[in-house]
């Protein structure tokens, strides 16, 4: 039998599709030895093909004894989340990672088809505007979920598969209040002359930037021509965010550089159903973290749904953490 890499690929895909059943019976089916026995080839040949696919980022590796291989794309489709890692110490570590990622993906996606749908689509439109996108400014209160929204948009862009490679860099300008290296950090993140790639830079909390740093950013956005490399074109997309109060006091040069103003509603302005979805998602996350089932009363849920969240998601998450901590301690 003349076995090809496609034959190996099909075996691993089929095995990964039945991950739960395989783990409960015999997890060694994901090993090179098992694949060699299925296809009647030598273990060394199976191992060679599997490692080639691993190096091509098709497979992930569980570095246990024996070493196991699983199909990345099948895992991502099955669990509905992107697998960023390439190696895991055990199948248990992989399963925990996928469970946590799936739950975070659930949290990230809340509101995409509801109160945030128009905002989500507007961001996608801005980023895909030729040649290098429009420059939006996200305006929202603390805890409104601006960063989470950006990660959701980035994940959707990856799913569209319109570019060869993707990267996402989050620079929190608050970290540069007394740090003079903002320009260096931004210069390091910027990509030049890469039309086939999609490189996104998210500058959060721009209200903390010094005037000359902010002017530098606006200059970049105005002509996509980077001072330190004047003969090259900046192909990175840049999105900035701030709070409503700081936007109201923004200097004219900031407003001049903005091509789209996008307002993100606070948690108090979101539909009650979405607030409930956040509550359930965070309770599930705490349940996983504590390794315990969490039961709540309808009164507890009602109080959380109708509470006032001054700092949005931060306040909601902290209230849930405190409740879970108290319940865990008393039991």
Q: Per residue in 221-267, pLDDT tens?
A: 776 544 445 567 778 889 999 999 888 877 666 677 788 899 999 98
Q: What is the pLDDT of residues 179-233, one digit of tens each?
A: 889 999 998 888 877 778 888 999 999 989 888 888 888 877 776 544 445 567 7
How far is residue 207's CA from residue 84's CA, in Å, rounded to a whole number? Answer: 31
Which strand ranges, in their side-by-side order, compose the sheet holding 136-139? 165-172, 197-204, 237-242, 136-139, 260-263
How far is residue 28's CA from residue 274's CA, in Å, rounded to a whole number? Answer: 42
Q: What is the pLDDT of residues 146-167, one digit of tens each?
A: 988 888 888 888 877 778 888 8
Q: How many CB atoms lie within 10 A of CB 310?
A: 13
Comparing 209 with 82, the larger pLDDT belongs to 209
In sequence order, which residues have a C-beta less than 8 Å from that of residue 48 and are 6 or more positions away? none
User: Domain spans of the chain?
Assistant: 5-105, 117-265, 270-330
Nearest CA-CA partner of 192 in 219, 230, 149, 244: 230
Q: For residues 220 and 181, is the Cβ–Cβ distance under 8 A?
A: no
Q: For residues 96 and 256, is the Cβ–Cβ distance under 8 A?
A: no
- For residue 75, count CB atoms less than 10 angstroms from its CB and return exposed for 0-12, middle for 13-18, buried for 19 or more: buried
What was the pLDDT predicted at 132? 81
pLDDT band at 13 (very low <50, low <70, confident <90, very high): confident
What's the CATH code, domain 117-265? 3.40.50.300
Percent of the chain's residues with pLDDT above 70: 88
Nearest CA-CA partner of 147 in 167, 170, 127: 170
How far is residue 284's CA from residue 278's CA, in Å, rounded to a whole number? Answer: 10
Q: Which one of 75-79, 178-182, 281-285 scores highest in mean pLDDT?
A: 178-182
What was the pLDDT predicted at 93? 85
Instruction: Tell me if residue 90 falls in helix, strand or coil.
Output: coil
State the helix-helix crossing angle for 72-79 and 91-109, rounded to 10 degrees: 50
Distance of CA 81 to CAs 78, 289, 319, Å? 8, 19, 27
Give the residue-averaged pLDDT of 98-109. 62
pTM score above 0.75: no
Instruction: Tell me if residue 132 falls in helix, strand or coil.
Output: coil
Q: Mean pLDDT for the chain?
A: 84
- Indicate the fold that domain 5-105 takes in CATH: Arc Repressor Mutant, subunit A (1.10.10)
What was the pLDDT predicted at 60? 93
What was the pLDDT predicted at 226? 46
What was the pLDDT predicted at 107? 55
- Label the pairing between strands 59-62 and 68-71: antiparallel
What was the pLDDT predicted at 59? 94
Give the residue-averaged pLDDT of 279-298. 82
pLDDT band at 22 (very low <50, low <70, confident <90, very high): low
Residue 106 in this model has a pLDDT that exceeds 60: no
Give the residue-averaged pLDDT of 43-58. 93
What was the pLDDT predicted at 254? 66
């Amino acid at each position: 039998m003349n076995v090809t890499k496609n034959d190996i690929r099909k075996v691993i895909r089929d095995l990964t599709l039945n991950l739960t059943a395989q783990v409960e019976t015999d997890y060694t089916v994901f090993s090179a030895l098992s694949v060699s026995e299925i296809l009647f080839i030598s273990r060394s040949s199976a191992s060679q093909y599997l490692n080639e696919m691993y190096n091509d980022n098709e497979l992930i590796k569980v570095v246990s004894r024996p070493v196991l291989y699983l199909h990345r794309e099948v895992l991502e489709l099955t669990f509905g989340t992107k697998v960023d890692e390439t190696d895991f110490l055990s199948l248990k570590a992989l399963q925990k990672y996928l469970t946590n990622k799936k739950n975070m993906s659930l949290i990230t996606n809340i509101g995409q088809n509801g109160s945030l749908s128009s905002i989500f689509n507007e961001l996608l439109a801005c980023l895909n505007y030729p040649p290098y996108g429009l420059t939006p400014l996200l305006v929202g209160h603390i805890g409104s979920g601006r960063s989470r929204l950006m990660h959701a948009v980035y994940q959707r862009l990856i799913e569209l598969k319109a570019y060869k490679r993707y990267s996402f860099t989050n620079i929190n300008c608050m970290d540069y209040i007394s740090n003079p290296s903002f320009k260096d950090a931004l210069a390091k993140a910027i990509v030049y002359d890469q039309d086939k790639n999609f490189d996104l830079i998210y500058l959060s909390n721009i209200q903390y930037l010094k005037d000359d740093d902010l002017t530098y950013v606006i200059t970049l956005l105005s002509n996509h021509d980077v001072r330190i490399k004047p003969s090259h074109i900046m192909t990175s997309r840049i999105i900035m965010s701030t709070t409503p109060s700081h936007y109201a006091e923004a200097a004219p040069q900031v407003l001049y550089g903005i091509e789209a103003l996008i307002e993100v509603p606070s948690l108090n302005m979101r539909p009650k159903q979405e607030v409930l979805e956040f509550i359930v998602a965070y309770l599930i996350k705490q349940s996983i973290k504590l390794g315990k089932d969490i039961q709540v009363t309808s009164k507890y849920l009602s109080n959380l749904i109708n509470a006032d969240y001054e700092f949005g998601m931060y306040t909601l998450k902290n209230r849930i953490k405190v409740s879970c901590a108290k319940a865990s301690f008393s039991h």
